[in-house]
Chains A and B, each alone.
Chain A
């Protein structure tokens, strides 16, 4: 409650990220593709002297093609000691959450249920609260867990 949220459009839906998870919003420069990596990994890009992994959030949700516009800006988040740049349709605004994430009867649909912690009310309307760890684990991680991260740190 009363958390600062970064509002973004992902796959045509309004989503929210915790502002304290978002380290910065950057202009996406050149992206170096990573051959043979899952498709939701758009590549790596440089942020000053750091290498960021660029995640296409639409593909990470499990959608197979991107039919939405892509913002030239990306939100930089850190999960498990690694930094990621999130490619989204658009980064909208900063808003204050007015409720805790709540589930709705019937769920949000298979893609969304996997990585949404729930619906959150904000000043600019309801949004889906995104679980970053699940988002970064990608569509193959399956269930709502941090399994992908555990195996990676081993």
Chain B
């Protein structure tokens, strides 16, 4: 069966049980009007609920009963035995129908005209046998509807559906506190077992007990807690059905469905929230036509948002409908005798609006099928106050109405952080914690401005409260130094730091209410028990912040958000990989440079030349950062750095973490390979200068399109000249290969001379080599061992200025010595 339907059946039964006593009392004394209220609410709720299930038979029955009872309540009709019998017959019929709905999910067909007629004024006392007739009639219709269904036991409607049962909450409470006690007993036992030393025969079963217990505890915890989503889930359909019925267009927006609260609390607020939504759609929202006429969008917007703040949950239901007219409320209140005109004159708008929660108040001019009987908002308030909650309404005429429900978290489980100040521990709700910083006061730039302490967090100065001062505990030895900072973000978006002596653990905590005298200090939201059974206080972060005026107004909040956006962007740039090098120094390299982390065996590292290399993925890459002595391990961790075109490897002893460089970078000049030093986690880290490292150690990448260079014939050219040409960035083309694409040719001087003598085509551009250091005057050739000159010529040839290069080389004295 549909969950909603199951809820409907269960709710109807529950209400009936609750009003049974009233029904009997009313039956005994029909003149007793005070008994009617409960019965009236019962039929009213049935009517409201079956409205969105499409059970017309139920709806018409309950509507008829409601009408009759409303007349009695309004004093238009005197209750008599006939009315009582008729009303009770209707209730019985409703029960029968609900039973039928439970078994097969649909409402059986049938006619209730007789019962409805009996409710009418002046109707004869209904035949006493009528109650016997009802089940018979029902049976007939049921059998007619389901011909195949005979005496066989009904098969489960949906065997895969999760089976649920309803339990009294205090039973659940007893189980829960029993399990909590068991956990404490287990902890005590664990302590004693540790003292007694290792006892293998006991330790095994004890471990099992521990794991079973933690499973049970999880399950129990989940039993009580539920996301408010379970309540929200039914709302879109309710809104859709209601707005369709009333010819209105409403868009619903739900927010905060992940707020968790006590299952019982969800049940308690289910009706109030449903009622308010009904009310909003029926009374608040205008028809599309009216809306257009007022210049509003055709579709109204209904928003329902849940927020947990401190030890309360607030649910805000707002619509953009016509709002509440103060004058109409006041006039109505005066006419029903709720207030006198004199009292009216004394009341402000705020107070008048709250009158809608008074019993017997209703402003609807026409009675609709949905709401508007005066039952509703008074019941809503009553139900909320029963659980220690409250409701408020605010409204702007023509703009909309906003209902705020406050519900206490008498028992809830939240994620909490345990902190220590002096000898005592306190808990902080995790939802407020933005970040935890273990840092010295220096690194956070802790300063005192007047009586206010400030720290710098991500480039922003934020106020800092010392928890020991807030709680008036004896101050720690240090003056804020070596404290841990908990950065807390309030629901308003404001950030502040709370300095504590130490941070312990975090985990789920069960919040228990505190005595009123303790709550008066406004510093605590509740208490909780640690695993060892020691009670700790839960800090009320929002209140503490407001005591110290740390909450800004909305405007500055926007500015702060923008500022933060900026710093966040900056953070993206400022991330680095933290590592320890072989000299045990903490270093960091900008994260953008790190392409991969490689691990290579020591024998893949070639240290024979002055610049070590390593083979990674079949590519030889330059390697820096190795220790001077022998390699300390068989395997070396390497950071593969890339500037986009070239790669090099950086050997490290240990890779720590990727961190944000939130602190200032202080430039360093004495070590060219270090760009700056900064603080990470309170200690200094040197940041590798990527530019320097690449300019010094990176090799020219193997470009795909290297220019080609044709070499002269001969062994000398192949073995001695070609590596030099290749290292200068050319692809070497053997002399015999006909490739006119060569960007450069190298000829021997004699080759050039014979070619020019024979008028053969001369390659362009061309480098001419001569055999002797001292060339003929005016010659543009280069001595073949003039390494510098040759490389310069090759380089310039790539730049397309071969001629000039040759001239420059020739004019300078040849430096054979350097060629070696």
Contact code string A27-63 (vs B, CB < 8 Å = 1, else 0): 0001011111110110011101111010000000000
A49 CA to B177 CA, complexed, in Å: 6
Complex CA–CA separation, A60 to B648 (angstroms): 75
Whether B518 contacts A37 by the Cβ 8 Å rule is yes
Contact B517 A136 (CB under 8 A): yes
CB distance from A121 to the nearest CB of B (A): 32
Q: Give the one of B388, B472, B515, B518 with max A CB within 10 A.
A: B515
A40 CA / B521 CA spacing, docked (Å): 13
A34 and B518 within 8 A (CB): yes
Determine whether B100 belongs to the interface, using a CB cutoff of 8 Å to chain A.
no
B184 in contact with A37 (CB, 8 Å): no
Instruction: Contact check, A51 vs B535: say whether CB atoms are below 8 A apart.
Output: yes
Q: How far is the CA of A91 from the CA of B232 in the complex (A)?
A: 52
The answer to whether B534 touches A46, judged by C-beta atoms less than 8 angstroms apart, is yes
Bound complex: CA of A16 vs CA of B380, how far in Å?
42
Of all chain A residues, which has the CB nearest B513?
A82
Q: Kindly identify, within residues 104 to 136 of chain A, every residue whose CB is under 8 Å from any CB belonging to chain B.
A: 136
Contacts of B180 in A (CB 8 A): 48-49
Q: Looking at the assembled complex, report how far the CB atom of B164 sits from the nearest CB atom of chain A, in whole angstroms.
A: 26
- Contact residues in A for B534 (Cβ distance below 8 Å): 30, 32, 46
> A residues within 8 A CB of B524?
34
Contacts of B523 in A (CB 8 A): 35-36
- 0/1 string, B501-543, CB within 8 A of A gives 1: 0000000000011111111110110011100011111000000
**Which residues of B are found within 8 Å of A30, using beta-carbon distances?**
534
- B537 near A32 with CB under 8 A, answer yes
- Rounded to whole Å, the gap between the CB of A78 and the closest CB of chain B is 11
List B contacts of A46 (CB < 8 A).
529, 533-535
B184:A41 contact, CB within 8 angstroms? no
User: Known interface pairs A34-B524, A49-B180. Does A152 touch B536 (Cβ–Cβ under 8 Å)?
Assistant: no
User: Which residues of B in the span 174-196 have a Cβ within 8 Å of any Cβ on A?
Assistant: 177, 180-181, 184
CB neighbours of B512 from chain A (8 A): 50-51
B525 CB, nearest partner CB in chain A, Å: 13
Q: Is the CB of A32 within 8 A of B536?
A: yes
Q: How far is the CB of A50 from chain B (nearest CB, A)?
A: 7
Is B609's beta carbon under 8 Å from chain A?
A: no
CB of B473 within 8 Å of the partner chain: yes
Please report the C-alpha to C-alpha distance between residue A74 and residue B534 in the assembled complex, in whole angstroms: 18
A48 touches B184 (CB 8 A): yes
- A153 located at the interface, meaning its Cβ lies under 8 Å from any Cβ of chain B in the complex: yes
Q: Tell me, in angstroms, the Cα distance from A93 to B534 when the chains sit together.
A: 30
With A35-B471, A36-B472, A48-B180 already in contact, the answer to whether A80 and B424 are too (CB < 8 A) is: no
Interface residues on chain A, size class: 20 to 34
B184 CB contacts on chain A under 8 angstroms: 48-49
Q: In the complex, what residue of chain B is closest to A35 when comparing beta carbons? A: B471
The reply to whether A37 and B535 contact each other, CB–CB distance below 8 Å, is no
CA distance A118 to B719 in the complex (A): 120
A75 at the A/B interface (Cβ < 8 Å)?
Answer: no
Min C-beta distance of A55 to chain B, whole Å: 8
B517 and A48 contacting across the interface, CB-CB below 8 Å:
no
Give the Cβ gap from A82 to chain B, nearest Cβ, in Å. Answer: 5
Q: For A41, what are the chain B residues with a Cβ–Cβ distance below 8 Å?
A: 515, 517-518
A136 touches B177 (CB 8 A): no
Asked if B519 and A49 make an inter-chain contact with CB atoms under 8 angstroms apart, the answer reads no
Identify which of A35, A46, A81, A138 gathers the most chain B CB atoms within 10 Å of its CB. Answer: A35
CB-defined contacts of B537 to chain A, threshold 8 Å: 32, 34, 44
Bound-state Cα–Cα, A37 to B518, Å: 6
**A85 CB, min distance to chain B CBs, angstroms:** 11
> Which residues 46-103 of A have a CB within 8 angstroms of B?
46, 48-51, 53, 80-82, 84
Q: Of all chain A residues, which has the CB nearest B536? A: A32
A93 to B711 CA separation, bound complex (whole angstroms): 117
Asked if B535 contacts A45 (CB within 8 A), the reply is yes
Question: Are B181 and A48 within 8 A (Cβ)?
Answer: yes
> Which residues of chain B are within 8 angstroms of A149 by Cβ–Cβ distance?
516
Residues of B within 8 A of A81 (CB): 513
Q: Check if A137 is an interface residue, CB within 8 A of chain B.
A: yes
A21: min CB distance to chain B, Å:
16
Q: What CA separation (Å) do A30 and B472 show in the bound complex?
A: 21
When chains A and B are docked, how far (Å) is the Cα of A81 from the Cα of B411? 13
For A152, give its contact among B424, B471, B517, B527 (CB under 8 Å).
B517
A34: chain B residues at CB < 8 Å are 518, 521, 524, 537
Whether the Cβ atoms of B424 and A32 lie closer than 8 Å is: yes
Name the residue on B nearest A53 (C-beta).
B515
Chain B residues with Cβ under 8 A from A50's Cβ?
A: 177, 512
In the complex, A23 Cα to B529 Cα: how many Å? 21
New A-B contacts (12) at CB < 8 Å, excluding given A41-B517, A44-B514: A32-B424, A35-B471, A37-B517, A37-B521, A41-B515, A46-B529, A46-B535, A49-B529, A51-B514, A136-B517, A148-B517, A152-B519
Which B residues have a C-beta under 8 Å from some C-beta of A?
177, 180-181, 184, 388, 424, 471-473, 512-521, 523-524, 527-529, 533-537
- A sample of 15 inter-chain contacts (CB < 8 A) reads A32-B536, A32-B537, A34-B518, A34-B521, A37-B517, A41-B515, A44-B518, A53-B515, A80-B516, A82-B515, A84-B515, A136-B515, A148-B516, A152-B516, A152-B519
**Nearest 5 CB-CB pairings of A with B:** A152-B516, A49-B180, A35-B471, A53-B515, A51-B527
